[in-house]
């Protein structure tokens, strides 16, 4: 096995959290190496016209996703069922390559609610312990919204986030999300223009007494000079956001700002095509670095004082479980058997769709964030006392859908035809008049939902695949039943016809795409008995290992995770610089 020169820090992955932490640490003079399993990829020239709108390459063939011939995952709905591997992309789309999933994300940028961080305490205090669903693993985060707020603010201003504040220092502001936690100041940029569909939704929701607001977005609504000193141009509203790179760098990613800043210090190196398979440890159980397979198939070792797992949730958990030694017999971080626990996802379903007769909605001119939303039924913003569930979700309308191949899938003829003359006529008549309302709900942890190593199936290198055990629970079904009526109510107020509403949640399947918001598996908590990492993302049983990303979440909120993931990365980098380096190899108090 070849050995490389030791560095201060090695990160596994070169996406959002690796980029943020590398930018912060290299500025302090630390030598950092990132090992990325995907290819070299930059925002330019890779995404310059006309290549960036290649829907067949990016949307259909998933060019920026993990190669399922090398690595995939198995799934079963419960421990009683057999697991089978994902053979083609469905439920989620993990990215690979420099920048990770941050290159092809939708850029919907949220802060979680204060009650999300104190989830267990909040619900027990308001409703009693019996309100929590049976078999749950719900727990509080080890830090509060107030502790994380400065890091949310820093990220938003560093990259340039567009939005409208609804609560500045405790003062509610109409037009923004009045339910949000207090923020220091207004967003750095005004919100993106709302689409026609989003405007219709907002008007109808307002008439019904709800509180619509524009989608917060890590997409520039105006030219902006980011923290690197570079001025970037505003969004062109081309509509190619999700699964695509941005041709003008209006969409934030680690490739746009953090990674170039780290590289400019001369203290940062990224190696692509590298498959990390274990964290190496010494006789004391501390990490000495990682081992990986390089692009030639040769095993190599990278020693480092600090190891940071900064990949996708599923990748982080798999590496922890594979990192077995005489001091960590069940894997790094797993001395208490908690790696893989509290696996959660993102609740969809319950959507409502219809036609605005005779109205052209210009659905081809938008992006993933030009929508309006309501959070009147998200989190605990509404009284659950007489309801048979806890939690809620974000209800929104208006994102662009202009990819020619994929956007026609929801059109059917009068008798449900999906091809032929009747379908073509329906496509001509209704494509630009179709409107839909969607739900993005909370996902709670349960004893029977977890990640572990599959005993049967292996990846291209001979290592066990990660096995996902997950299905929806009664709380999810009841939540969708309740919120589906609210979405239909809004659709009717918008004047839509031919309304279709999914009133019942179907059992989870790994087949259809739902979101890439997989969370949990290496959660943070107050002590080694309830978590894998502490509030700084530091592994309890191996203090010179940090695990970043959504794998830290004890449960998932009713919003996209990326804003919170990036704020936590700033929080971790700050802790390493200001606390850990003063007492290395020790747990940060």
- Which positions are annotated as active-site residues? 517
Give the three-state DSSP class for 262.
helix
CA 274 from centre of chain: 23
- Cα distances (Å, whole numbers) of residue 202 to 206, 324, 491: 6, 53, 11
Which residues does residue 296 pair with via DSSP β-bridges, in sequence order?
Answer: none
Q: How many CA atoms lie within 13 A of 53 on its CB side?
A: 11
What spatial distance separates the first Cα and last Cα of the chain, rounded to whole Å? 37
Beta strands (DSSP E) in 248-366 are: 268-271, 275-281, 287-293, 299-309, 352-355
Which residues does residue 344 pair with via DSSP β-bridges, in sequence order?
Answer: 519
Tokens encoding 285: 């159980």
Give the three-state DSSP class for 157.
helix
- Cα distances (Å, whole numbers) of residue 569 to 30, 531, 562, 566: 17, 18, 10, 5
Contact 2, 299 (CB under 8 A): yes
Q: Which residues have C-beta within 8 Å of that of residue 150, sequence separation ≥ 6?
A: 184
Tokens encoding 30: 């630390």
Instruction: Report which DSSP code applies to 75.
Output: E
Q: Any idea how long the chain is?
A: 589
- Cα distances (Å, whole numbers) of residue 290 to 322, 391, 552: 11, 40, 21
Q: Which residues have C-beta within 8 Å of that of residue 393, sequence separation ≥ 6?
A: 347, 377, 378, 439, 440, 441, 442, 479, 483, 558
CA torsion sign for 442, 185, 20, 529 is negative
Contact 539, 531 (CB under 8 A): no
């Amino acid at each position: 096995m070849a050995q490389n020169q030791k560095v201060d820090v090695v990160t596994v992955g070169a996406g959002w959290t690796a980029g943020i932490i590398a930018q912060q640490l290299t500025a302090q003079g630390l030598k950092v190496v990132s090992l990325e399993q995907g290819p070299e990829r930059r925002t330019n020239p890779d995404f310059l016209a006309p290549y960036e709108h290649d829907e067949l390459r990016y949307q259909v063939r998933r060019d920026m996703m993990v190669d399922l011939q090398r690595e995939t995952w198995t799934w079963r709905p419960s421990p009683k069922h057999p697991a089978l591997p994902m053979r083609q992309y469905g439920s989620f789309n993990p990215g690979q390559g420099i920048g990770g999933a941050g290159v092809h994300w939708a850029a919907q940028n949220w802060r979680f609610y204060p009650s999300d961080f104190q989830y267990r305490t909040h619900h027990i205090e308001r409703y009693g312990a019996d309100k929590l669903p049976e078999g749950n693993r719900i727990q509080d985060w080890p830090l509060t919204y107030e502790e994380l707020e400065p890091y949310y603010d820093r990220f938003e201003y560093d990259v340039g986030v567009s939005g409208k504040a609804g609560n500045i220092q405790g003062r509610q502001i109409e037009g923004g999300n009045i339910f949000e936690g207090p923020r220091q100041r207004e967003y750095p940029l005004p919100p993106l223009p709302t689409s026609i569909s989003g405007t219709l939704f907002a008007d109808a929701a307002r008439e019904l007494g709800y509180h619509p607001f524009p989608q917060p977005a890590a997409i520039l609504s105006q030219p902006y000079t980011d923290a690197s000193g570079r001025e970037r141009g505003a969004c062109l509203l081309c509509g190619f956001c999700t699964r695509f790179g941005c041709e003008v760098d209006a969409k934030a990613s680690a490739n746009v700002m953090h990674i170039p800043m780290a590289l400019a210090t001369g203290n940062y190196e990224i190696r692509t095509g590298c498959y990390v398979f274990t964290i190496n440890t010494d006789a004391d159980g501390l990490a000495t670095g990682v081992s990986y397979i390089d692009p030639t198939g040769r095993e190599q070792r990278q020693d480092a004082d600090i190891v940071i797992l900064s990949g996708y949730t599923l990748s982080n958990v798999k590496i922890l479980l594979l990192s077995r030694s005489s001091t960590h017999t069940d894997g790094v971080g797993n001395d208490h058997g908690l790696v893989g626990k509290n696996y959660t996802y993102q609740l969809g379903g319950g959507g409502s769709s219809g036609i605005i007769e005779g109205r052209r909605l210009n659905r081809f001119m938008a992006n993933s964030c030009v929508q309006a939303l309501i959070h009147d039924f998200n989190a605990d913003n509404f009284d659950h006392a007489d309801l048979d569930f806890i939690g809620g979700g974000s209800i929104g309308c208006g994102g662009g859908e202009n990819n020619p191949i994929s956007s026609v899938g929801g059109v059917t003829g009068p008798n449900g035809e999906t091809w032929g003359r009747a379908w073509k006529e329906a496509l001509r008549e209704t494509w630009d008049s179709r409107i839909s309302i969607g739900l993005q709900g909370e996902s709670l942890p349960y004893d029977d939902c977890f990640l572990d190593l599959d005993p049967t199936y292996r990846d291209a290198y001979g290592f066990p695949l990660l096995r996902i055990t997950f299905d929806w629970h009664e709380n999810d079904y009841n939540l969708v039943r309740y919120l589906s009526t609210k979405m239909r109510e809004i659709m009717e107020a918008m004047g839509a016809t031919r309304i279709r509403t999914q009133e019942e949640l179907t059992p989870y399947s790994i087949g259809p795409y739902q979101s890439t918001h997989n969370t949990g598996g290496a959660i943070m908590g107050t002590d080694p008995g309830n978590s894998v990492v502490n509030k700084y993302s530091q592994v309890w049983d191996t203090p010179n290992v940090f695990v970043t990303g959504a794998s830290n979440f004890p449960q998932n909120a009713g919003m996209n995770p990326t804003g919170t993931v990036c704020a936590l990365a700033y929080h971790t980098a700050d802790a390493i610089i200001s606390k850990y380096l003063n007492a290395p190899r020790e747990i940060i108090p």
